[in-house]
Chains A and B, each alone.
Chain A
Amino acid sequence: MTDVFSTNATPAPDPGPNPGPGAGLPLPEPEAASRSLGQLAWLRFRRNKAAMFGCATLILVALFSFLGPHLVSHSYDGVYRSYVETPPSIHPRPDEDTLRAAANTLAVRGRVTLESFEVEDGRFTAVLISPQAMDPRVARVFDRSDVFKEAQVQAHEDEGRRLVLTGGVTQETFLMGTDSNGRDLMSRIMLGGQISLAVGLLASLVSLVVGVLYGAVSGYMGGRIDNVMMRLVEILYSLPFVFLVVVLVVFFGRSFILIFLAIGAIEWLDMARIVRGQTLALKRREFVGAAEALGLTDWQIIRRHIIPNVIGPVIVFVTLVVPKVILLESFLSFLGLGVQAPLTSWGALISDGAANMRSAPWLLIWPSLFFVVTLFALNFIGDGLRDAFDPKDR
C-alpha cells in the first residue's frame, strides 16, 4: 500500500491554498500567484449553488437580527401584561371576546363587576357596577392595561354604583407570539440572534485559530514538544468547567469577552487533537520532506503545507463547533456568566422553549427554526469553502 502512496504522492510544489496574501510558495511572484489562487477559490465558491444559497440565508438571518429591531414596534424587554403566552398570529389581538375577558379581569382587579362590554370601531363601552360607590379613578385601571387607552367615565349613575366607561382599544400583533412574561418573541429572537451569531461565529473562530495552530505545531514538532502540548490538552480537558466559569465570574465580573474566554478555553481542544492527528500523517509525506530540503523553516512548512492540507476535516469540524458554542452560551448564562436577563440568546430561548414545549410550543419552534436554518446555511458555506480550497482538486 505504501508503494501507491510513495509513487503517487503529491510532489513538493503543492501550493498553499491559504486565502490570505502571501500564502503561496516562494514562487517568483508570490503575491500575484496567491491572489489568483484566492480568486480561483472564490470563483469555485461562487459556482457552488448550495454555498451561495447558504450565504444568502445567513445574510438574511443577520439582517433580520441586526436590522429587524429597528423595524418592529415591540422592544425585546417590553412586557405586555395582557398578552402573557399569546400564541403566534398574523391578526391583531385581542379580538372582542378576548377584550371582554381582559375587561373582566381588570374589573375584578379593580374590585368591581363588569355588567356589559361592547367594542365598535376601535372604541369600547363598558358598564361597571359595584355594591358601593365607585371611585371614578377606576378608569385608570383600564388605561394601565395594554389593551385599553384613554378610558373616560361617561356616566356616573345610581350614586356611583353604576359607571359607564368608554375609550380606545389598542391592538397588538405578535407574529411569533409572546413569552411567559408577555414579551414579543420575535423581538427577542432578533436580539438573541445578534448575541448568538456574534458568540457562535467569534468563539468558533477563536477555537478554530487556536486549535489549528496548536494542533499543527504539536503534530509537526513531535517528540517531547508534542508530548507536553498534548498533556496540556488533557489537563484542560479534565478541569471542572462549572468551577472554571464560576471563578471567572468572581474574579472578572460579567463581561462579554469572558464568554469567549470560557468557551475558547475548551472548544479548541478537540480541534487541536484532530489537526494534530492529520499533521502526524502529513509530515511524513514527500512534499514536506521536499520543502525541508528547500530550506523552508518549520513555521513556513506548517503555514504553507500542513495547515492547507488539514482544511477539510477542520471545516467540517468547525461547522460542528458553532452550534455547540451557541448552546454552551446559554449554560454560561445559567452560571451568571454571559448575557443577563432581560437580554437573551437563541440558546436561552431554546432552553426556555424546551421547558414550556407542551404548554407553549411556539416558544420552542420559532427560535429553533432560526437556529437550525442558520446552521444549515453555515454547513453549506462550510462545504463550499472546503471544496473551493481543496488543494487536490486544483
Chain B
Amino acid sequence: MGNINSKLNFQWLLKMAWRDGKASLSRLMLFMASIILGIAAVVSIQLFSDNLKQNIQKQSKSLMGADFIIDSKQEPSEKVLAIVDSLGVDASEVNFVSMAAFPKSGGTKLVKVRAMEGQFPFYGDITTEPAAAGATYQRLGGALVDATLLLQYNMTAGDSIKIGELTLPIIGALQSIPGSTAISSSVAPTVLIPFSLIEKTDLLQLGSRKEYQYFFKAPEVNLDALSEKLNPILDAENADLDTHISTSERLGKRYDNVSRFLNLVAFIALLLGCIGIASSVHIYIKEKLKSVAVLKCLGASRKQSFLIYLIQIISIGLIGGIIGSAIGTGLQYAFPYILQDFLPFNVEIIISIQPIIMGVALGVLMSVLFALLPLLGTWYVSPLEVLRGAEDNLQKPKYARIVVFVTIAVFIFLFSFWMLKDAVDGLIFTAGIFVTIAIMAGVAHLFIQLIKNYFPSSWGYTKRQSLLNLFRPNNQTMVLVLAIGLGTFLISTLYFTKDILLAKTSLENKKNDANIILLDVQTEQETALLKTFKSKDLEVIDNVPIITMRMESIHGRSVSDMRQDSTLTMRKWVLNHEFRVTYRDSLKETEELIAGEWIGTATPGKPIPISITDNMADDANLKVGDKAVFNVQGVLMETVVSSIRKVDWTSMQINFTILFPTGVLENAPQFNVMTTYVPTKESSAALQRDLVQQYPNVTILDLRQVFTIVEDILDKISWIINFMAFFSILTGLIVLVGSVRNSKYQRIKESVLLRTLGAKSKQILEITALEYVYLGILGSLTGVLLSLVGSQLLALFLFKEPFVPSVIPFLVFLPGITFLVVLIGLSNLKSVLNSPPLEVLRKEV
C-alpha cells in the first residue's frame, strides 16, 4: 500500500511539476539557456582533451617517427657513438639554424636545416608535394623546403636553395614531418637535405648551435628498461635518450596544461550561468510561494511542495545538460580547425561518453546547487501565507543557508582542483572567483546605500523613480551588476592581457634598439663585417665575443659525480648546460649588482673573479666566494663568484648568465654576436642578401620578422582564448536577458499602474531607460576597473611587463555594454506601451 502510494505520489509530483512548469515554460527556458553554453564549453574542452590524449597515445610512434631517439646538443663523444653503433642506428640527423638564400628571387631566410641520413620516419609520413619527393630527395641530392616558405618566396620544385656554401635543387615542398607544428616551424621553417651534403655547406663549425639525432626502429625493445639503463651513461656524455612513449607523455602534459586553462575559462562561463540560474530561480520561487502555501493548505507536505520545484530544476538542468553536451560534442569538429597550427598531428575525432555524462551530471548538479537556496523557501513557507500574504514572516533558514553556501564553495573548489590537479591552485581559483563576486556585490551594495543615503530628492519625477527602482523590493540590481560586471571584466581582461603581450613586440619601433642580430660571426670575419656595416651607413650597436664552456666542478665536487647524486638540491641543468659566456670590464645599464663586488679585470695567479645572475645563483646553489671550475673547450679554469647580478632580460640587449672579467678569455676560441638597427624592411632584406652571400655561416635574426611571427602566434592564441571567452560573454548576455526578463515581471505591474494613472509612454520609457543606464554603467564600470586592477597584477607578477592600459575598454566596452543593457531593458516595455493596461495585466501577471 505504501509502495503504491509513494508511486502515485511520485507520479503526481511529476504531473504537478509539469503542470506548473508548462505555464512558465518561457521563463524556464531562459534559466536553461543560462547553463547550456557553460556546459557546452566544458564538455567540448573535456572531449577535446580526451581526443588529444587518445590521439597522442595512438599516434605516439608517428609523432616521433621512431621508437626512440638518442640526441646530443654537441658533437657526440666516442662513448655516445659506440652506444649508437651498438644499438644499430636506422637513421640519423644533424640540425642547426642557418641562413638560406634563394638565388631566383634573391631572398634570404632563417631556416632550420635538417640533414638526414636513412629513411626517416619509420612511423608516420613525410608529406610532400610532389608526393614522391620525400622518398627521392636523398638519392637526388636535393632539398625539401617548407611549403609555406616556398609560397612566401614564390618558388617551386626545380628552383634552387643556397645553404652556406652549398647550392642544391629543391625537390619538393615539405608539408609535414613527424614532430613538427606550424607554430614551431614559423620562426625557422624546415629545410631537409641529405646528410651526405652537410660537409659541403661548411656550416658545421665552432659556435654553431647544432643537434645530433639518432633514430632507432626497435618495436620489440623494452623501452623503459633501455631508457633506465642508458640515460645515466648518456647524461654524463651530455646526450639524452627519448622514447616515443616519454615524448608523447610530455606532449600530452603540454596540451593538458592548455586544456586546463581553457577548462577554467569554460568553467567561468558555467558559473556565470549558475549565477543566472540562482537569480532567476530566486524570483521564480518567490512568485510561487503563495501557490506553495495553497498546496500546503490543501494537504501537501513540505517534502511534496519542495519536490515539485526541485523536479522542475532537475529537469531544467538535465535538459540543459543534454543540449549543452550535444552542442559541446558538435564543437569537437571545430577544434581541430581552431587549433590546427598548434597540433603536430591530425586529430581523429573520437566521441567518448565520459565527458558527455559529466556534462549532463554537471548540468543537473550545478542547477540544483545554485537553485537550492531559493528552493529552500518552499520548504519553510507556512500555509498561513494564504491568509496573511506576509512574505516577511517567511522563516530564514540560517543553518540550511550556510550549508548550501559551503556546499557550493566546496563544489567549486573540488571541480577546479580536479581540473588544475593542484589543491593550492584550485584554492586560489576558488578564492579568486569569490573575491571577484564579492567585490561586484559589494560595489552594488555600496551603490544602493549611497543612493539611499544621498537620495537626490530635487531631481525630476522620472529620474527619481528610476533611481528608486534600484533598491525597491525584488530589485535586480545585485544580479544585473554581477552579470554585467563579470562579463565586462572577462572581455576587458582578455583585451588588456593581449595588450600586455603585444607590448613586447612593439619595442621594435624604438630607435636605437637593435632589430638585426648576427650570430656565429667568426673572429676572422669581424673586421670585414664591420667594414660592410660602415659602407651601408649602419651603426654596430653591440659586438660581443662569445666563448662556450661547461661546468667541470662546483665547490670542489666534480660534475660527473654530482650527476649521480640523487639527493642533490641544485637544478641539474647547470651540470649539463653549454654556457655561452662573454668577458668585459664593466656592467651595462641592464645589469644591477645585488651581492659581492664587480671585478672587471682578472689578476694572474688568482682564481678568476666571475659574476653570475641571481637565478643562476639560486639554481646552482652558489653564493659570493664560492668556487667553480669551468671547462673551456678542454682548458680548465678555476673561478670564484665575486658578484651576483640582477639582469633585465626583457630589454632588447644581449645578456649573459655568466660574465668573465677581461684578461682571461681573449685568446680562447670564440665567435661574435653583433647587433645593428636597420630602418626599413627593404634595407634589412638587402643587408641580409649581402651578408648571406659574403658570410654564409653567419646566422641573421631579423627581429622585425620575428615580431611579426610572434604577433601572428599571439593573434592565434588570442583567437582561441576569445573563442572560449565567447561562451562566457554569451552566457553573460543570456543571464542579462534572463535577469532583465525577470525584472519585467516585477516592474510590469508598476508600469501598467503608472499607465493607468495617466503616465505617457515617454515617461515610462524614460524611467526604464534610466534605470538600465544606471545599472549598465555601474556594472560595466566595475567590470572594467576590476579588470584594470587584475591586469595590472598580471603584468606585475606574471608577465613582468609594464602595463599601459588601453582606453578601448572605457571608450568602447563601457558605452557598448550599457547600450546593450538599455536595449534589452526597453524591449520588455513593448507590450506595456502598445496594449491597454488591463490586457497587459491579465496576460502577464
Please determine whether chains A and B interact with each other in the same assembly.
no
Interface residues of chain B, those whose CB is within 8 Å of chain A, are none
